[in-house]
Structure 1
Amino acid sequence: MSALSSERSNWYLLQCKPRQDERAHLNLIQQNYQIFHPQLSSDRVIRGRRQRVLESLFPGYLFIQLSRQDNWAPIRSTRGVSRIVEFNHGPATVAEHVIEHLRARCCEASEPTVDEALKPGEHLQIIRGPLSPLEGVFIAPQGAERVMILLQFLNREQPVCVPLNALERQQPSLHLNN
């Protein structure tokens, strides 16, 4: 991030008031500002039910695109906005490639993940990491990229949180009854 230096539009970082990211986002859009609010979807238990929710990637912060000719005054008094983040006595710019990278990553993360297809009780095998090649049983997702599985380990059933990309569905074995 560097200080404001050009006449073209740049991305800047806004700090929001506590738990008012959405409020600030909506109020700034109503004022015709270009806003980027990176969010990821994750599974949460709300009132006893598992639900997919969008969570802010940077809680308490939004990105806004402005040029020197834009009217910056209303931003500070917009409901939900606390301040424009500054470094070296001026608003700090965020490089365009950083915003593009975040947009790409947020889009990738919002696509359905493998854990949506997993069912409790499904058998999985750990294919990477220190617990490879142990086998376990799927219990529940733990965010977007991890799952909780039950391993038979040290003569006990142990719940273990494992990265989703370290798991593989176990092929059902064929049992012949005579």
Structure 2
Amino acid sequence: MGRKYRFHDNSNLYFVTFTVVDWIDVFIRQEYVDIIYDSLKYCQKEKGLDLYAYCIMTNHIHLIIGTENGVLSDIVRDFKSFTSRHIRKAIENSTIESRKSWMLKTMKDFGIKNGRNKDFQFWQQHNHPIELDTNEFLDQRLNYIHQNPVKAGFVENEEDWINSSAAGDYYQIRKGQVEVIIIE
């Protein structure tokens, strides 16, 4: 991985994206989304993750994150590893997942092709952390995250997307699924 895409300074905030291999629409089922929420909460409580914004789309996740007492690269590694294993188990054990065989085969094929994995890959390898070193850049990424479901045509207003920090935290329309630190 190039030097440009690393967590250089744990005292700064970063924009990260985690994308499911082959852009599989995994997060159309709440069961899989809940694994993401549970893992974010765990990382906040146990690993020192500071979460400033999020948006869970159907096949990828955007976050603005930081930490005061952890190592971001370790937190991200653990988050991706945990969610990958648990979502895989949820797919395997699902009695209602009509795409189960196709999804598992696709993830297995990606895992076999990638020398870093044994037999399975859920997330694409890179998350390209981008340091948010100016207020302008931070505001631009925050807007990008919250506008993502609007630009994708899923909702008319950013606050209408349920799996985002927009409605629950920034607009305070309803209680958010996970606590965030508001960027002002």
TM-score w.r.t. the length of structure 2 is 0.34
> Whose Rg is larger?
1
| Larger proportion of strand | 1
TM-score by length of 1: 0.35
